[in-house]
Each structure stands twice: as C-alpha cells, then as structure tokens.
Chains A and B, each alone.
Chain A
Amino acid sequence: MKEFEFVVTDPVGIHARPAGNLVKEIKKYTDSKISLTKGEKTVDGLRLMAVMGLGVKQGETVKFTVEGGDEDAVVESLSAWLKENL
C-alpha cells in the first residue's frame, strides 16, 4: 500500500466534470484499488458520486491510497496526471 497527498489547485475543486475526469483516469489502473481521503471521510476512487460527495475545494488536501498492482508506477503516473489536471 502506498499513500500520497495532493493539494487541489483547480479553482473549481473536484466538481462534477473534474470528478468525472478523475474517475475515468482512476479506472485505467485496473490492477490497483485507489481511494481518496479528505478529513475523516474515505471513498472508493471508482465511485463518482462519492468522489463528488467529498466536496473538495481549491487549496484542500486529498490523500490518495493505492493498493495492489505496480504501486510505485501508479503513484507516479497518477500524481503526474493530478498536477496536470487538478
């Protein structure tokens, strides 16, 4: 299991469309289970409504947890995607 934190810089936060894009991206890592944690709440990265339900805003920190598959590679490519898109 690997974890990393990411501060959202997108001015609208993880809203409907960005959340849709994020879930789409997470779907690509079929061998890993990826979850998001904000504060007390942890949700499955494949569940769009739950991800939207976190209500992540600009400047807030989200912890990503990656389990299974080539964890290092997933962390690397997912954080690169996040920097580019969120």
Chain B
Amino acid sequence: MITIQGKGVSTGVAEGPLYFYKRAVTTLKRYTVEDTESEWNRFKDAQQKCIDQLGELAEKAREEAGDEAAMLFETHQMMAEDLDYEETIQALIMEEANNAEAAVTDTSVQFAEMFASMDDTYMQARAADVKDVSDRILNILYGVVQGGIDSDVPVILAADDLAPSETIQLDKNKILAFVTEGGSSSSHTAILARTMGIPAIVGLGDQMKPEFEGRPAMVDGSTGQVYVDPDEGTVANLRDKRRRQLEYQQMLDELKGKENVTLDGQHIRVFCNIGSPEDVHSVLLNDADGVGLFRSEFLYLNCDDYPTEDYQFEAYKKALSDMDGREVIIRTLDIGADKQIGYFELPKEENPALGNRALRICLNRPEIFHTQLRALYRASAYGHLGIMFPMVTSVWEVREAKKMCEQVKSELKAEGIPYDEHVQVGIMIETPAAAVISDRLAKEVDFFSCGTNDLTQYTLACDRQNNDLGRFFNPHHPAVLRLLKMVTDNAHKNGIWVGICGELGADLELTETFLSIGIDELSVSPRSVLPLRKKIRETDVSKVRDELMDDLLGEGKIF
C-alpha cells in the first residue's frame, strides 16, 4: 500500500481505480501504409465513432439547452460524413498510401483554408468547426478519449489540474473523486467536486506517479489522504467511515423541509451556488431555498464561438422553470483572470486578476453584454429571476450596466416579447472598493452578494491560486469580516438585503458570526445546505452576538 498526503478540499470517501486525465495528443506521425484497404477501414471506423459521439452530444445538448444547441452537433455530424471531405481523405489513403492520421490532418487543413479564405467573417469562423470535427476523428484514431476518461467503470480521476473548459466536458457519471497535483481549495476542480458532492484532494505534487494508472485506490477527502493498493485494514476502516458518513447524511436528510431559523427565532435564507442548469437537480435534492449564484460562464466555455441569444435563453429558461418559482440569481459573464476563453481573444496580461475581467469586459464590449441581458430578460418570464454583476468597483459601472438593462427591457417591450418587470438587479461585493463605498452602491441596486473568494484575495493582496500562500490566505481575517459587517450595515440602512456567495458562506465556524452580523442569505454548494441548516438551528444568536462582535470590532481577540 502507498499512502500519499494532499489537501482535502471536498469531503467523503471514495473507492475505485485511479485513472489519469487524458489530454488530446498534438504531435502527428506520418508514414506510408502497405495495406491501404485496412487503413481506409480504420478511418471509416473512427469516422463512425465520431458520428456516434456527436449524436450523443446532440441529444445531451437537446436535453440541456434545446434544439438549437443540438443543431450545432448535428451540423458537425454532417461535416464528418460529408462526401467531399470523405473523398479527399479516401484519395490520400488509397492513392497516396498516407496513414489515416496524416490524411485527416491534411484534409482538415485544406477545408479549413477554404472557409478561412471566404470573404465573410462568419464563414471564416467555420474553419474552427472543420478542425473540431477532424480533431475528434484524430483523437479516436490516436486512442485518446473524449471527456478524458478512458474507462467504462467510474474512476478516481487524477490530473495535474483541470481547466474550467476541461471540467465542463467531463463525463460526471464516471468520476468518484478528484485527486490533483496542483490546485487549492478555491480552484475550479475543488469547487466542482463540492458541487457534485464527491471527495477531492489537491496539492499532491510529484507524489502522483504515472505507474498508479489503473490501480485500485481509496481517497479520504476529510484527511486529504490517497491510498494506492490499499491493504485490507485500510479498506475496512474507510468503508466503515463511509458508512458513518452515510448515517450522518441520513440525519441531514431529516432536516429537509425544515426552516433555516435559529433557536431565538432569527431567519436566514440558504441558497445554492451552481454552474450549469443540470446542477438544479442537486439544489432541489438538498432542499435549498433558491439559487444565489448561477455562474453563466459554462455557456461560454461550452462553445467555440460566442453563444447566441437563443442558446443562452433556452439554458436560463430551463434553470428557471426547473426551479419552479424559487428565486434564481444569475451572475452575468465573469471571465478573465483565471478563466480564459479562446475566442474572446483577450490579450495576455501581466496581472490578470487586476485586469480586463467580468463586468469590465461586458462594459468594454457591450454587444456581448447586450446579448446576454436580452437572453436573461426573455427568460425572466419563466420563473423568478435575479441578475447580478460581478467585479464592481464604482457607481458609474453599475449605472452603465443598469442603463443597458433598461434598454433591453424597452426593446423587448417594443417587440412584444414577455419579460418580468420586477427582476431584482444586484451586484457582487468582491473588491475592497465596492465594500468601502457600499453605502453609495446600496442606493443603486436591490441586493448585494459578497464574493468572499475574491474579496479575501484582493483585501489581503494574496493570490488564491497560489499553493505556497495557503497560510497567508486567511478568509477569517478580521479585515475581511469587518468589511462584511460594514457592507451589511450599509445594505440594511438602505433597505436592501445582503448575502454571501463565496466559499466562506459554508464555513460552519463562521455561521454564528454571519448571523450576528445580520447577513440575510448564504449561498453555498448544494451539499453544504443541510449541514448549514443544522448549524443554524442549533445556534442562539442572542447568546453569542455581543462577544463575537466585540472580538471582531473591539481590540480583544488577536487573529
């Protein structure tokens, strides 16, 4: 048995084979084939698999986002079986004895060039479609697996770290746990694991060896340990631990349907953070009151080009109607910094966290923002929508964004398209600037939602992605908590509500502090809803408030 230690960032015990995430191969080998007939058949098999995969993706897209989203994959399917495309490949294999990989690559380039040379930017962009389809066939020829998991049974997935665009494409049913070499508790893999309710261990570094591939393993997310080839005793212990966790889960399940109210009668709303419409399922399963943060980035990460208004509309509409009247707060596009998307063609920056990101991109490129707002307001007719803007630092930004909302509303009105007049518009408080001027910002919006991950990073000048800064990145720092108190007071003075949608909201050590400060809503990952409800129901705020506030605001406790 080999035991390696990392940092547990999502709890739970998992048991299964360990597999490494497979990235697409990019180096092409060229050679002359002897048996052209069987090489041609090898291509035909790969082509058929490609068509089958695209068919499955089309169905998945149809379920998640409607017919228009499915059409993209269906068009790709037709490209894969296009006669011109196929005949060009056939000639290269049968007549020139090229290997299939070389034939597909050259044909892909030839067709992509045809599109790229057309006098129309939209058609030029179709070069990417040809390349996408060809890459899929190439990956099949190379034996690389779409979605990165080369196993029929669910696995413990190992990786250096996963990019957001990679996590979104993973086949989630095949993952029992994540174990990564890099990453931190706020990395995307960690957040995804908590949303999925499965264990994750990060920061394993070079202890992860390629020879572990396919070997039986167990992970314990609460201790951060990974066991490769676990011995009998370990297996028995961990299975026992898993059983106890299941019992705990049963106890939590009994809290479903109960109110989020303290012993002394203070109510607080518990909402969920989600990243795609399919997560709504776990929101309802965990009995949350609503969705406090719906990250809209998935729509952009899922596409090779800017998602259309209709495509976005279908996805928002689905989430809103599935939530069946419960509030859903959708955050407008938040990319830049650590989340990059190729087709946005954002220039490289020295300091991406301080750069062109989130609302700044939207205000600099109003056409992108306009499309998203139209989709959001159209969807508002199908449920209870709230909209919030990320990365605000100034009042003028909020006014400019709201002006755009008003413009979209009057357009829809003129076009006779239904929308909800009473959509609440709020902002994220995630920069020290926004917190410090929250008295002024409160007069502009219907609510605040504090993004504690970025608020901590910016307040403490400490990069949350940097492994080595762990002990300096302290979200319990009084500077952060004092800002939260200040924001809450300013919100309440102006009659608006305030929530927390960062990781901190689920931190049970701070629940009493948040209740004492008077936070109105906590938005957490779905699996944190019931433990949080349990903690709230066990708290008597009247007994702890004075001491906690004295700790926070007085000279008392040294953090």
**Residues of A at under 8 Å CB distance from B?**
12-13, 15-17, 19-21, 23-24, 44, 46-50, 52-53, 55, 57
A49 touches B120 (CB 8 A): no
Query: Shortest distance in angstroms between B239's beta carbon and chain A's nearest beta carbon?
Result: 51
Q: Mark B29-57, 1 if CB is under 8 A from A, else 0.
A: 00000000000000000000000000000
A16 touches B82 (CB 8 A): no
A55 touches B118 (CB 8 A): yes
Question: In the complex, how many residue pairs between chain A and chain B have their CB atoms under 8 Å apart?
Answer: 50
Contacts of A20 in B (CB 8 A): 71, 74-75, 78
Q: Does B83 lie at the interface of the complex (its beta carbon under 8 Å from any beta carbon of A)?
A: yes
Contacts of A46 in B (CB 8 A): 83
B79 touches A49 (CB 8 A): yes
Contacts of B78 in A (CB 8 A): 20, 23-24, 48
Contacts of B120 in A (CB 8 A): 13, 55, 57
Docked Cα-Cα span, A80 to B120, in Å, equals: 28
Docked Cα-Cα span, A19 to B78, in Å, equals: 10
B115 touches A52 (CB 8 A): yes
Cβ contact of B83, chosen from A16, A47, A53, A57, cutoff 8 A: A47
B79 touches A17 (CB 8 A): no
Chain B residues 71-123 with CB under 8 Å of chain A are: 71-72, 74-75, 78-79, 82-85, 111, 114-115, 118-120, 122-123
Give 5 CB contacts A-B under 8 Å.
A15-B123, A24-B78, A48-B75, A53-B118, A55-B119
Query: Shortest distance in angstroms between A19's beta carbon and chain B's nearest beta carbon?
Result: 8
A17 touches B75 (CB 8 A): yes
Query: Shortest distance in angstroms between B47's beta carbon and chain A's nearest beta carbon?
Result: 14
Q: Is the interface of A mostly helix, strand, loop or mixed?
A: helix
Docked Cα-Cα span, A15 to B133, in Å, equals: 17
Chain B residues 124-142 with CB under 8 Å of chain A are: 126, 129-130
Given contacts A49-B84, A52-B123, contact A16 B114 (CB under 8 A): no
B123 touches A49 (CB 8 A): no
Q: Is the interface of B mostly helix, strand, loop or mixed?
A: helix
A50 touches B71 (CB 8 A): no
The 9 A-B pairs with the shortest beta carbon distances in the complex, nearest first, are A20-B75, A48-B78, A49-B82, A48-B82, A55-B118, A47-B84, A17-B71, A47-B83, A49-B84
Given contacts A48-B78, A49-B130, A55-B123, 9 further A-B contacts (CB under 8 A): A17-B72, A19-B75, A20-B71, A23-B78, A46-B83, A48-B75, A48-B82, A49-B82, A53-B114
B126 touches A52 (CB 8 A): yes
Q: With a 10 A CB-CB cut-off, give which of B71, B78, B111, B126 has the most chain A CB atoms.
A: B78
B122 touches A12 (CB 8 A): yes
Cβ contact of A49, chosen from B72, B85, B122, cutoff 8 A: B85
Contacts of A53 in B (CB 8 A): 114-115, 118
Contacts of B83 in A (CB 8 A): 44, 46-47
Contacts of B129 in A (CB 8 A): 16
Docked Cα-Cα span, A69 to B72, in Å, equals: 31
Docked Cα-Cα span, A23 to B79, in Å, equals: 11
Given contacts A20-B74, A49-B111, A52-B115, contact A15 B82 (CB under 8 A): no
Docked Cα-Cα span, A53 to B123, in Å, equals: 8
A48 touches B123 (CB 8 A): no
Query: Shortest distance in angstroms between B120's beta carbon and chain A's nearest beta carbon?
Result: 6
Docked Cα-Cα span, A13 to B552, in Å, equals: 63
The chain A residue sitting closest to B72, CB to CB, is A17
The chain A residue sitting closest to B71, CB to CB, is A17
Docked Cα-Cα span, A20 to B468, in Å, equals: 51
Query: Shortest distance in angstroms between B202's beta carbon and chain A's nearest beta carbon?
Result: 40
